Amino acid sequence: MELETGRLLLRQWKDSDLPVFAALNSDPAVMKYFPILLSREASDAMAEKCRSLISERGWGFWATELKENNKFIGFVGLHEPKDTFPFAPSVEIGWRLLGNYWGKGYATEAATQALQFSFDTLDLHEVVSFTPASNSRSRSVMDRIGMINTCQNFKHPDLPKNHSLSEHVLYKITKNQWQKSGL
């Protein structure tokens, strides 16, 4: 399953995406709100997991490319967080793009299409998104795609309680809210 917007293609991962994805995952600016930079091996394993889940289910964190030049710019899509999260089971929407593609509306454009897929094709009741409380850029994307801050902050289960990134905000949008949003 591929999704398409005016400027973007959300598609299955290709081997040619891996070096660019590794550069993205080792960029301190991109990974500012993640606890560690990823090694090439960890980055490749993450991409392979994304590829495998898309093959199995038909959806996931899709590789995202610009249609005008077929350049891979990161990922946008849907994922099932681990059961250790306080809002599990759930489906989350997330994104990670190369820094030079920030501020151009790509995350919002692709995430809007992924939400439409989640409600129209998967018939989900709701979708969540979460990020460290200090990540204003991702929170702005969540706002732009119609998600609502639940004000139910939580400590990320994989981080020490006193870690600077442990406090996360939780955003949600229901199918009904999505339909009323007109996005």
pLDDT digits (tens, 9 = 90+) for 46-89: 999 999 999 999 999 999 999 999 999 999 999 999 999 999 99
Pull the structure tokens for residue 68: 């005008």
Digit-coded pLDDT (tens) for 133-147: 999 999 999 999 999
Q: Look at residue 183 and tell me whether its pLDDT is greater than 80.
A: no
pLDDT of residue 4: 97
Range of the domain at 86: 3-181
CATH of the domain at 81: 3.40.630.30
Nearest C-alpha neighbor of 102 from the set 69, 153, 136: 136
The count of domains in the chain is: 1
pLDDT at 1 over 90: no
pLDDT of the residue at 122 = 97
| CA angle at 169 for the pair 164 and 172, rounded to the nearest 5° | 160
| Mean pLDDT value of segment 150-156 | 97
Mean pLDDT over residues 12-29, rounded?
Answer: 98
* pLDDT at residue number 182: 79
> For residue 7, what pLDDT is reported?
98
pLDDT-derived band of residue 176, with 50, 70 and 90 as boundaries?
A: very high
